[in-house]
Every structure is written in C-alpha cells, then in structure tokens.
Structure 1
C-alpha cells in the first residue's frame, strides 16, 4: 500500500528541499515520508510523545497513521490535511505577529523537553481561523547541549524584519515578501531603518549586527565563527523570551487611517439597507448551504461573520486594505470565528513562484470554496482598473460554484467619486448589462436592489 501511494501520489513542490522527508498528495489525502536521514530525529520526538502532546495542545497538525516506508524511506505518515494553505506574504501584520510569537512559544516548549527546531521558516506555520498551527513534524529534533540558534537569521528575515517594516517604517510587508519569498533580508532592513531605531539593543543585536556578520570579510567571519563555542541553554531561552517580548510589543507604524479601514462604519448604506444586505447573505447561505466561503473584499469581516452565523463552517476573506484586515483579525480572535482574513491585490493574485515556478502555489490553485461573496468589490476592478465585467464574472465562477455578487452602478456616490478622477470609458457599465453577462455564464437565482443609489445583489450558481 505504501509503495502504491508513494509511486502514484504527487509530491508537494514546497517540500523538495528537506532531506529528512517529503510531502505527497494522493486522492485528497496528505502523506509525509521520513527518510533514513530524518529517521533518528523523528523517532526521538515520537518516542518522547512530542507529536502527540503538541497535537493535543492544538499546536501541531496530527499524524493520523504511521506505516513502514518504501524504497529509501524509513516511514510514511498520513497527516491531517488543513483546509487552506496560506503564505506569509498573504498574512496581515497581526497574523504574521501571531505566527512569530507562536513560533517562539513552540520553540520554548520544545527546549523545556530537550528538543529544538532545525529551522525557522514562516512557511511551517499555518492557520485554523486566526489560530496558528505548526505543520512540519520533521523540523522537531533533540536539542544538543550548548548549540547555537543557527536559524536566528532566518527567523529575523521571515518573521521579525517584515514586522519591523510596518512597525518602524510604516510600510506593509506583503509585496516585498512576495517578491523575495524569503522575507526581508537583514541587509535591506539595516539599510532602511531610521537611525534612531538602530540604537536600541533589540534592533542592534537582531538586525544591525546580523547584517555586519553576514556582509563581513572572510577575516571577520573567522573572528565571529561559533565553531567550538557553546551557548548555554539558559542563554538560548533568555534570547527567545526577549525576542518574544519585543515582538509582542510591536504595532503598525502607519497611524493615519486608510480609505477603507472604517468602511463598515462610513459606507453609503443606511441601517435598513445594511440589514437588507445582511438578510440577503443569510438567505443565500441557508439556500445554497456552502460549508466553505471565500469573501472577496471582506474589509473588517462583517459579512464573513454573517455567513458563519447563517451556517457556513469556515470563511477565508481577502482584502487589499491592510488596516481593515488587521481589524478583521482582532474580530475573529475576540469572537473565536472560523475566519481567516488575508491580503489580496485582486489585480495581481499570488502566482506560482519559487523553484521551477512550482515551490509556492498560486491563488487559483489554493483557494476554491463552496461559495463566494463579492460585496462592494467589482467596481474596484471594473472602474478603477479597467477589468471587463465578463472577465470578472469568469474569475468569480472559477472560485466557487455559487455565490453573491454586488453590482455598484454609476449612480452610486462611490463610483461617482472614482469617475470624477478619470474619463468615463465604460458605456456598457450598468446593472442590465451586468445581469445579462452574468446569465451567460451562470444561473441567476434571485436579485435585489439594496440601496437608494441602485446597488444590486445577485445570487448565482454555475450552469450545469
């Protein structure tokens, strides 16, 4: 049986670098091989019940089954499959901060049990709602007395520096992170940090000196070599605790409100119109019964929350406004919602990238659900960025077979503001044409005008 799924399954491209084992998919199930190289570390953690204890705490995805390996593999493990796989360049500041603190907490817990982590890549953390969970069992290995934290720079570049970019420079990490895929290098961070920020002990030790060590000459490298030296575990733990305290204190440095951060409070709907929109979403969920929902333009998560209340089991939301998704994170955390808010520039969704353009999968490969909400969203693509309505509808239907989409007409104040800044080159942009185009690709189940300005909601499902 093991030889069948290893031979016939497809390897997850992002796992190819690990000599300890690789991840495979077969028939919708997820498996991890353990090679001879990784077997001793795996066995030590397994026999110490590390995997079981961490899974019971909700910190590690469970191992469902262990089987003998085939060929050069010692073991094959069936792993619980998560619903969504997300990447750090899609996370909000708050999600990234939660992941960083969690990674340190996990490491501190392991050190208490005489185990440690082999690396510090942010891609080993995923989310259930907004709760972080670790996914790489083979990163856990026995601690060697006196060892240095060899993954310190990786942690700084993939967790700390992207947070500092927003906290100290006021710029979101998302585009930068996606461009480099490995975070923000210590060289780049040291170059752009304000001078006054470099004077603090935390920044000096985690950014400035790391950059000096990395860019030093071969002679400098000899002077700072850790060969033959030891770091007492107590000092290692103290280093992690100090880093945790610092990261926990970081807040976004962009204090000025963005255009859409308070949209849920300052939009053009009156109370009755807003309630009509809520009722339409509730009726859609009750009728189509989507278990999973993607909320495009989720803002602070108001309608994601409504979809969950109406019966959806999980919602993943996307928005371009980083302050809005930070607020959505806090709402999901406070109310314990099965809702994950992520960053998305819909004009340029995450592509296939990395080694051989396969290491990190695209938005379209990872995100498909039973239902989709696209409320107060289409005009930002159609009017602001000239995306044809027919193309927008095609993309919407590629995300989910059912959903609700809101059309915002030229009579709406928001669209009027957008057109005041540019030439109106959209002669066919009206509700009737949108209705006709939608019916060419989907079945319109019902529609309802929900605002005095003519905003119209359409419930749809894919054609047979």
Structure 2
C-alpha cells in the first residue's frame, strides 16, 4: 500500500521493476524485489560506475528511507534530477541521432559487463549539460546466452524509423512520434519511405524486412528456442544498427527562419543594443531557468546563457533548431537546450490518461523568465492572436518576461501584411501595453537604438 504523501510519477507506472515517486519535494525511485538480481549485477559488475564515469548514465545514491510500496520494495535510490524533461518529438535530427548512438554505445558497454538493455525507448534519454544521457537505471538486465535482443523492435521504432523518415521523406515527420508513444510502427515507416531506401541494405534489413517479418508472425506463437542468437550475432546486430544510424545524414535545407538574422532590418548598432538590453535585464533578474520562445538559432538564448541560466531554446523551425544544436555541440555549451516547439500548438500530454508524457506547458511550469523577442507580431498577425490571449498565455508560464514590441510600420510587420488585408486595427503599442498590464507589471521599457522597436521587462502580477 502506497504512503498517502507519496506521488508516483505518471510516466513510470508500466515497469514492474520499480517506479519513480516524489516525497517531500524530492525525487526517488523504488526498486522492486523482482529486479533484485539485475540491480545487484548492475552495481556489482562495475557497469554502473563505468557508465556514470563516462557521463552516459544519470548518477544515483542509495538512501535509507521507507518504501513507497513496502510489500514490493527492495531498495530506494535517489537519482540526480534532470532540470528540464524533453521528448523525442521535440528534438531535431541530430539530437535524435545522438540519442540513438548513445543508446547503442550503452548497450555495447553493458554487453561487456554481462548485461543488456531490456528496452531501448527514446524516452530513456534526456539532454543534460548539452549531451544525451540515459536516465532509466532499471533498463538493464542479465544477458543470457542465446537470447536475441529483446529491445530490437523498440530501437527501430523509436530511433531508426523516425531518423530515416526525417532523412529521406520530410524532417517534420519526427512529429509522428507524438502519435505513437511506443515509436513509429515499422509497417507505416516502410510504406512512407521512398522505394530507393530498399536498396540501402541497412534500411532494407532493419525497417522494410523487419516490418514484413512482423506482419508474417503477428498472429503466430513463436518458440524462442527456435531463434537463438549467439554472442557474436548479438554484437553484429548492434554494430549493424550503429552503422545504419551513422550513415543517416541530413543536409539542412534553406529556411526563412534559419536565415532570419541574415535578412533582418536591424542595423549593426540596433542589434548590439538589443543584446545589451537583454543582457542587462537578465543580469537584473538572475533567472535560473529561461524559456526562449521563438529562439530561432539561439542568438539571444546565448546572451541569456552567458549569465548562467539554463535556457530552453524553442523554435518551430526544425532547420533553425538543428543549427542551434550543432552550435551547442561545437561550443560545448552546457546550459542551452534547443527544442522544436510551436507555441501556438505546443506538445500536449499524451499516453494513458493524457499524463504519461506531460505537456510542454506543464513541463515548462512557472519558469523564472520567459523571453519573447521578435515574436509578438507573428502571433498577433500571422496567427490572429489578440494581445490579451498572448499576455494570458505568457503569464501562465513564467514569473518574469522580456518581450519585444515591433510597431506596424516596421518592415518586418509590413512583410507579414503584404499578402493579406490589414484587419489589425488594435495592433498598436498603446493596446499592447494596456493588455499586458492586466497580467504583468511593466518594470522598464527601453527603445532599441537606431530602431522603432522596444524591449520591455515585466513581472507577473501576484
């Protein structure tokens, strides 16, 4: 029987080996008696220390507290907390690829210690300090000679299929992972992928042929003894998957938003002043977590990041996010997390009861700071959102706000109005301030030099 004060994390109820729960504001994981053999091997074989030492597995400590479920409990551990949880359908191509290669690397190291991954869910990976890290301590089990890799199908559905679809069909198809919580079905991926992928041996084998095998054996009882796999064959499968993933390369296409700063109406003076103003506001508030909405390639995310904040750098353009993530890797940046996210249609809660994977808004919570730079005119004009709606939304996700207002006579706003009737009579700075004052206190308003634009620092009303 669970303790009344404990709250089980909604996304961890499926695993009979244990579950995550919170108590007194702290995060814990109960390990059940059924997982005793595998947990003891994980800790005793040196695998845990090897993976943590390489930065591949989230660290934990064993703690002496009461079990959340005493009748099933073996141990309780306290894992390091991941500051912001993201999901695979919010990752760019290279993030998903790096997560796939990390999963396979962990499997190879586990095999050297006599263990395997019993599942290969992309949800077991989170980005910490700019790198993919495995977070599910209970995914390891003892390797038994001759048994095939039980996580093979899951790896293909969670990683290989979406990567192939992004590479050969359309990079936006990663959003399909939001529809299928256990990965994109291989028969669907096989049907969507172009015929030329059948002539690439790795994709033919692991997606097309694999999908055919699933159809063929869907209603058959399979005797596992008839499908034994040697240790050499097991290793060969992992190496084949690794090769398949490494060969998938996506050349970023041209994008209006990825090239935004190359086609901006900011003068050099205005751009530098905008950076100065944002840095000044960030330094004044000293937020720990910043949500940068419409971050593009992360130029101002980095301005905020230099002040030490963790910046969730969101944009709806996969090309811009890809370039942002590549910059994170190139610079070894530890406090910027690029994500593909459309704030006009953010990731909803999905899975059982709509709570197994939390919505983006729920995960964003009440952030210390929200930045909305060069964004309001797109929301108001391109998406027909009234200032009142925008203000209410932004007040629901952050305590402080840095927001830019761009007047209607600005060339970027005129570009939006060039192909449509101007019905936006309320799009004025006076109305903008009036609606935002209902949700925020305006602390300061600074006009950007050599520009008609203004940047505001606001605090949510209590």
- The reply to whether TM is greater than 0.5 is yes
Determine the structure 2 residue equivalent to 1:56. Answer: 53
Which of these residues, 241, 244, 267, is aligned with residue 242 of structure 2? Answer: 244
> How far is the alpha carbon of 1:13 from its aligned partner?
0.8
Match of 1:353 in 2: 350
How far, CA to CA, are the matches of 1:132 and 1:7 in structure 2? 35
TM-score, normalized by length of structure 1? 0.94
Q: Deviations over 1:415-456 (max 9, x none)?
A: 212112222221111112112222222121211222655221
Distance in 1 between residues matched to 2:408 and 2:385, nearest whole Å: 16
1:43 maps to which of 29, 40, 43: 40
* 2:424 equivalent in structure 1: 426
Paired residues for 1:47-446 under 5 Å: 47-67=44-64, 69=67, 70-216=70-216, 221=220, 226-252=224-250, 255-309=252-306, 311-337=307-333, 338-368=335-365, 369-446=367-444
Secondary structure in 2 matching 1:440: coil
Deviation of 1:179 (Å): 1.9
1:264/1:218 CA distance change after superposition, 3 Å = closer
Alpha-carbon displacement from aligned partner over 1:336-382 (angstroms, at most 9, x marks no partner): 21111001111111112211111111112111321111111122211
> Cα deviations across residues 188-229 of structure 1 (Å, max 9, x unaligned)?
11101111211221011101111111111568x56x864343
- Cα distance in 1, alignment partners of residues 105 and 425 from structure 2: 57
CA distance in 2, matches of 1:132, 1:246: 19
Q: Deviation string for 1:142-164 (max 9, x for gaps)?
A: 21112211211111111111111
Measured in 1, the distance between the counterparts of 2:459 and 2:425 equals 27
Aligned equivalents of 1:209, 1:115: Cα separation in 2: 27
CA distance in structure 1 between the aligned counterparts of 2:233 and 2:11, rounded to whole angstroms: 33
Please give the alpha-carbon distance, in whole angstroms, between the structure 1 residues aligned to 2:414 and 2:238. 52
Does the 8 Å contact 1:88/1:96 carry over to 2? yes
Residue 218 to residue 282, structure 1, CA distance change in 2 (3 Å): closer
Secondary structure, aligned partner of 1:52 = helix
1:332 aligned counterpart, secondary structure: helix
Q: Measure the CA separation in 2 of the matches of 1:342 and 1:100.
A: 17
Cα drift, residue 177 of structure 1: 1.3
CA distance in 2, matches of 1:179, 1:156: 16
The verdict on how the C-alpha distance between 1:208 and 1:225 changes in structure 2, with shifts beyond 3 A counting, is: farther
Q: CA RMSD in A?
A: 1.9
Q: Secondary structure at the match of 1:120?
A: coil
Query: Aligned equivalents of 2:24 and 2:249: distance in 1?
Result: 43
Could you tell me the TM-score, scaled by structure 2's length?
0.94
Q: Tell whether the 8 Å contact from 2:297 to 2:321 is kept in structure 1 after alignment.
A: yes
